[in-house]
Amino acid sequence: MHYNPDWREAVHAGSPSLPGNRKRAFLNSFLEAEAFQSPWFSSRFTVSLWVERGPASVFYAGKVTCCTMLSCNICGETVTSEPDMKTHLLIVHMENEVTCPFCKLSGVNYDEMCFHIETAHFEQNELEKNFERINTVQCGTSNSRKDSTLQCRMEVNSSIHSACASNHPKISAQGPPNNGILKHKGFHSENLTESRKFLKSKEKQSDRTKIKGSIYEAMYSPPECPFCGKIEGCSQDMETHVKTEHADLLDTPLEDCNQPLYDCPMCGLICTNYHILQEHVDLHLEESNFGQGMDRVQCSRDLELAQQLQQEEDRKRRSEESRQEMEEFQNLQRQYGLNNSGGYKQQQLRNMEIEVNRGRMHPSEFHRRKADMMESLAIGIDDGKTKTSGIMEALYRYYQNAATDVRRVWLSTVVDHFQSSFGDKGWGCGYRNFQMLLSSLLQNDAYDDCLKGMSVPCIPKIQSMIEDAWKEGFDPQGASQLNNRLQGTKAWIGACEVYTLLTSLRIKCRIIDFHKSTGPLGTHPRLFEWILSYYSSEREGSPKVLFTSKPPIYLQHQGHSQTVVGIEERKNRTLCLLVFDPGCPSREMQKLLKQDMEASSVKQLRKFVGNLKHKQYQIVAVEGVLSSEEKIARRQASQVFTAEKIP
């Protein structure tokens, strides 16, 4: 089929005509058909679509001649009826050509494209807004006349085509044909969607609104106005409300109007009304205040959580500290014999049983020693099994005949050595040193009055004597620390308990506390000097070896105690203490009793300045006998126990 504009008059002259009203109604129904709501029927230009039925049957300038056979002027397809032609044009030449004018989306049908533009390009779709405004102005009062409606539609379509052509330079560059007829070749796929969309009639508009309303109702139910918060029953009512009540917010201000614009200082939104801007800013402030309130609530919750965590951590820390403190206290109790694990007697029997089980002691020896122990405990006197006597005399002979590197030496009076036994091993050094000190005092006539008829007591007896001194009122603080009980325990004793016991026996003594180092590398040279001054009462030129009348000195440091029985002054003017250690076995001490004593045997007694590096040392030095009045005075002074400190 061919289209020739020059045939119009000739064909029109020979074509059958219809009555005016019938022709107009037929043309209107033809133009309003859905298949022809497309750019193929343009505005302002005469549209002539030639559909052949023989040599002279045409549609011409709004006049229609019905034909029995219809042929498509695009592809030549022949159909038998107008509905088939409409379907052909819609399916073959229209559905596949719909393209989004904004994002070039294609391959969808008309309704899907309309929904795409409504949702994806709501702000850009200003052509629809212009259509609604122009349609309201021009077509609002002319619904009764079909010709006016058709003319209105043509004018609108022309404006839409112009808008589409302005968006697509390819189309605008073509321009209309000189004869006022727009050929189908001049249309491009970019304009199909826009032209078809805006050629929708007023009658079809309500159907499309219903479709959109159903979609929005499925997505948002119930709808709420985004400007004033009003809630409507359906989306159609909400759309009507927004368009009527908030039309000034929807329409973009025209450039040619002098309407003032107001910018939001917080988000940059442009408003045409000052009151709307004020409401908009108030919404910002409310959101800000709400956010600050939420921040305060969150901070309060965080603070409460932090406090709970801190309290839980403090509780765990206190619990752990209490547990460690209890463990340390129990260790101290066990270390100092206050854990109710038995005393001297129980430990003696238990250790002898162990020796029997290991085959180191015969059962008969076990029973013999047990009997001797029970007898000693009954009379309260040490059985002498661990005592070594005569050592002081042997030392006197050794220094007389040997020790060429020694310039002078001072020795205490006779002192017996007492070794720790099975019953007090690990905790009885203080008791054994008291036995050594008492053994010297018992052999010194100056103390016969206060020690008359006394023998060296056994350890349980010494514990009983200290408890008696506490009962008299000596050292109440020390008594409370040991729960006023020593018998039946393995409690340690130190310088204070020895002082208390000696004072209760009317023996004059003093405690000197060397509480810190007085020499390099943590040494205590002042301690050595004090002991030298204690022993040296003779003038220069006295004999090399001097037996003095001085009792031995009780020497205490952390965890152990010893007995000082003399002091050496060597030729290089250095000092060396001679010390009895209760931890030294009796067999080693007995080597000193040999006639040909070796220097190596004396070595175990020597303590040079560099050998005493404990942080603190205390000594108990005996100085004579107390009168009864002095004893009472010292008992009163022991209520707050103090020691003489050097330095």
Catalytic positions, please? 429, 560, 581
Six token digits for residue 340: 């109710």
Question: N- to C-terminal Cα distance for the chain?
Answer: 133
DSSP 231: B
Neighbouring C-beta atoms of residue 465, cutoff 10 Å: 18
- Give the separation between CA 576 and CA 17, rounded to whole angstroms: 152
Name the CA radius of gyration of the chain, rounded.
Answer: 62
The answer to whether 556 and 494 have CB atoms below 8 angstroms apart is: yes
Residue 436 burial (10 A CB sphere; 0-12, 13-18, 19+): buried
Angle ∠(45,32,115) on CA atoms, nearest 5 = 100
Phi and psi torsions of 508, nearest 5°: -80, 125
E strands present in 277-358 = none
Q: Please say whether the beta carbons of 548 and 537 come within 8 A.
A: yes
Phi, psi (rounded to 5 degrees) for 392:
-65, -40
- Separation in Å, CA 121 to CA 104, 239, 241, 398: 12, 17, 21, 120
- Locate 566 and state its tokens: 């003399």
Nearby residues of 441 by Cβ (< 8 Å), 6 or more positions away? 447, 451, 507, 551, 622
Contact 519, 382 (CB under 8 A): no
**Are 80 and 72 in contact, with CB atoms under 8 Å apart?**
no
